[in-house]
Structure 1
Amino acid sequence: MKHLDLGVLDDDVLLFGGPYSNIQALEALLAWADAADIDPERMICTGDIVAYCGAPLACVEAVQASGAAVLAGNCEIQLAAGADDCGCGFEDGTTCDRLSAAWYAFAQSQMTEDARNWMAGLPDVLTFNHQGKRYGVLHGGVTDVSRFVFDSDEDALFAREWAALEALTGPVDAVVAGHSGIPFLRLTQRGPWVNAGVIGMPPHDGAPQTRFALLSGGKMRIELLSYDVEGAMADMRTAGLPADYRDALQSGYWPSEDVLPESLRVAVSDRG
C-alpha cells in the first residue's frame, strides 16, 4: 500500500468523498472552496471520483486540474486495473449489484489511458498535521478498501482499522474516511473517526443536498452542499443510465438499502 504525507496544513482543510461522476456537484464544491479561500493544497478527496452519475471523465479531469490531494478509492483501483466491476463486493442479484453493472460499464467505456495511469499512481492512504494533531485519511478501511463503516458499528471494528492504519503510517490522532456515503463524527476508544460523506449522492435522508467536511481551528464539522441537481440528472439521462440513481439525486433516497445497517433504513411509507 502507498502512503503519502501532505505535511503541515494548519489553515482550514476541506475533505470530501465520492464525486461519483457528478460534475455539477464537484463544480459546486470547487466554487465553495474558492469563495472560502481554501487553496487546492488544503483540499483532500477520499476517493471514488467515478461512480453512479453521468460525467466520469469530466470529474477525473476536474479533480486533476484542481490540484487537490486524492487517494485511491475502490473505483479508481478497479478502473486502473481494467477490472470487470467496481469492487464494492455487492451480493449477486441485489439492486446495488444490478445498478453498479450499468454505471461501471459506462464509466469504464469513458476512461482514457491517461486517466487510468493517473488512478494507478494514487496513494492508498494520506496523512497530514493540523494544529498539533496528526490525521490519517483512508477510503473505506485499510484491511479492505471497500469496507462499509458506519457510526453504529462496534468499537472493535474501528480499533482494528485504526491499528491497521497506524501499522502503515505511524501514530495518528484522528481518522477521516469515505466510501460509505453517510457522513458521521464518531468518538472511538482510539480517538475521533470522521466520515466526510460524499458530494455526488445525498446521504439517504430525503433531501438532495450532499455533504463534505471542513476542519477549521482544530474542529471538524459536516457541511451541506447544494448544486445543479437537474443538470446532473440530465447527464445521467444522456448517458443512458438506469433511472434509479438519477431519481435518488432528487428524492434524496438511495434506490437500495442493501449495504445500510437497519438503523439507517427508511421505510417506503415514511419517505416524503
Structure 2
Amino acid sequence: MNKKINNIGTLKGKVLLFGGVYSNLQALEALKAIAEKESIPAENCICTGDIVGYCAQPEETVQLFKLWKAKSILGNVEIQLIDNAEDCGCDFTEGSRCDGFSKLWYPYAQSLLSKSSINHLETLPDHIVFEYAGKKVTVIHGDYFNVSEFIFKSTNWQKKEETFNATQSDVIVAGHCGLPFYHQKNNKLWLNPGVIGMPANDGSPQVWYAILDDTNEDLKFKHHNLDYNYKLTNKLMQNGLLPEEYARTIVTGIWDNTEILPAVESGLQGFGITL
C-alpha cells in the first residue's frame, strides 16, 4: 500500500484537532481565532481532511488554511480534486440523496479552486504520525485501509482494531463520518474530533473540535463546541448552485437525511451530543 506518511516527531502542549472544514470559511476563521486565544501554534493544529466540501467558499478556505500553516491529511475530497475526478469519492450509495447533492457541490468547488489551491492540496500526506505524552498517534481520514470508510462509535471494535494493528498506534485520530466521538478499549483510543464545516445532526448550529492536553505528561482530551457566524455561511450557500438542504442544515443542525448512519447514530438525530 503506497502511502505518504508524515512523521512530525514529538508534540508538546495543547494540540487542536478538527476535521471537515467543507469550504466553510466562517467556521475556519472562528477556529483559527480559538487556536490563537489558546496559544496553540499552527504546527499543533491538525485537520483530518476534507478542507473542501459542501459550503460556498472553497478557494478562500484553502487559501486561509495555507496562510494559517495548520497541518492536514488528505480527505477523499482532496484526493478526487487533485486527480480531477468527476465525483467526490465520498462512498455515498449511488442514487441516494447524498449522492445527488454531491453532483451539485463537488463540481461547484472544483470550478472555483485555483491552481495555487490544488498545488497546496497536493502537498498533503495520507496520514500524520506523532508522539504525544508517550503514545503513538496516527491521524487518518476514514480508516487506514479506505479513506472513505465510515467509522462511527457504534462500529465494532474489531473493525477499529485493524487500523490500530496496521499502524501500531495507541491513539487513532479519525474523521470522515461527521460526528464527534471517542471509543476506548484495551488501552487504545479512537478519537474523532468532529467536523467544523457542518453541524453534527444534533439540532444545534454549533460545530465540533477537540483539544489534546499533556499536562502532567498524561494524554487527556476534550471535545468542544464552536460558535461561528453560521448565518453568513447559510446566506452565502443560498446561491442557486449549492443544495438548499445543506444550507438549511447549517442553521437547524439537522441533517437532511441519515443514509450513511448506523441505527444507533440515526436514532440520536436532534437529541444533542454528550461527550
Corresponding residue for residue 192 of structure 1: 189
Equivalent position amino acid for 2:228 in 1: Y
* Counterpart secondary structure, 1:238: coil
Aligned pair in 2 of structure 1 residues 81, 133: CA closer, same or farther (>3 Å)?
A: same
Q: Does 1:101 align with 2:98?
A: no
Deviation of 1:120 after TM superposition, in Å, equals 2.1
CA distance in 2, matches of 1:269, 1:44: 28
Structure 1 residues 181 and 269, CA gap change in structure 2 (3 angstroms): closer
The letter for the 2-side match of 1:144 is N
Q: Which residue of 2 aligns with 1:174?
A: 171
Rounded Cα–Cα distance in structure 2 between residues aligned with 1:159 and 1:219: 21
Report if the CA contact (8 A) 2:105-2:241 is conserved.
Answer: no
Alignment CA distance shift 1:64-1:148 (3 Å): same
Following the alignment from structure 1 to structure 2, what is the Cα–Cα distance between the partners of residues 21 and 82? 18
Give the residue type in structure 1 aligned to 2:242: L
Do the aligned partners of 1:148 and 1:179 also contact (CA within 8 Å) in 2? yes
Report how far residue 186 of structure 1 moved.
Answer: 0.3
Q: Is the alpha carbon distance of 1:25 and 1:268 closer, same or farther for their aligned partners in structure 2, counting shifts above 3 Å?
A: closer
Task: Give the aligned partner of residue 9 of structure 2.
Answer: 7
- Cα deviation 1:160-197 (Å, max 9, x = unaligned): 12223x1xxxx321110011010101013460000011
Aligned to 1:157: 159
Please report how far the alpha carbon of residue 134 of structure 1 lies from its aligned counterpart in structure 2 after TM superposition. 1.6
Q: Following the alignment from structure 1 to structure 2, what is the Cα–Cα distance between the partners of residues 266 and 57?
A: 35
Q: Distance in 2 between matches of 1:189 and 1:101?
A: 42
Distance 1:15 1:120 in 2: 21
* Alignment coverage as a number of residue pairs: 266
User: Secondary structure, in 3 states, of the residue corresponding to 2:264?
Assistant: helix
Q: 122, 131, 135: which is aligned to 2:133?
A: 131
For 1:1-272, list aligned pairs within 5 A: 1-164=3-166, 166=167, 171-189=168-186, 191-217=188-214, 218-238=219-239, 240-266=241-267
**How many Å separate the matches in 2 of 1:5 and 1:203?**
30
Q: CA distance change for structure 1 residues 189 and 245 in 2, over 3 Å: closer, same or farther?
A: same
Given the two structures, how large is their TM-score scaled by the length of structure 1?
0.94
**Structure 2 Cα separation of the partners of residues 9 and 267 of structure 1:** 35
Counterparts of 1:233 and 1:80 in 2: how far apart (Å)?
A: 27
CA distance in 2, matches of 1:188, 1:52: 34
SS in 2 for 1:202: coil
Per the TM alignment, residue 117 of structure 1 is displaced from its structure 2 partner at its CA by 2.2
Residue segments in structure 1 that go unaligned for 5+ positions in a row: none
- Is the 8 Å Cα contact of residues 203 and 270 (structure 2) preserved in structure 1? no
Q: Over residues 213-232 of structure 1, what are the superposed CA-to-partner deviations in whole Å (9 max), with x where a residue is unaligned?
A: 10012201111101001110
Q: Distance in 2 between matches of 1:24 and 1:124?
A: 26
- Distance of aligned partners of 1:47 and 1:270 in 2 relative to their CA distance in 1, 3 Å threshold: closer
* CA distance in 2 between partners of 1:268 and 1:194 (Å): 20
1:35 is displaced (CA, Å) by 0.7
Shift of the 258–219 alpha-carbon distance from structure 1 to 2, 3 Å rule, reads same
Q: Percent identity?
A: 39
Is this contact kept in 1: 2:164–2:170, CA < 8 A? Answer: no
User: Could you tell me how far apart the structure 1 residues matched to 2:270 and 2:35 are?
Assistant: 38
Following TM superposition, by how much is the alpha carbon of 1:270 offset from its aligned partner in structure 2, in angstroms? Answer: 8.2
Structure 2 unaligned residues grouped into runs of 5+ = none
Asked if 2 retains the 8 angstrom alpha-carbon contact of 1:18 and 1:199, the reply is yes
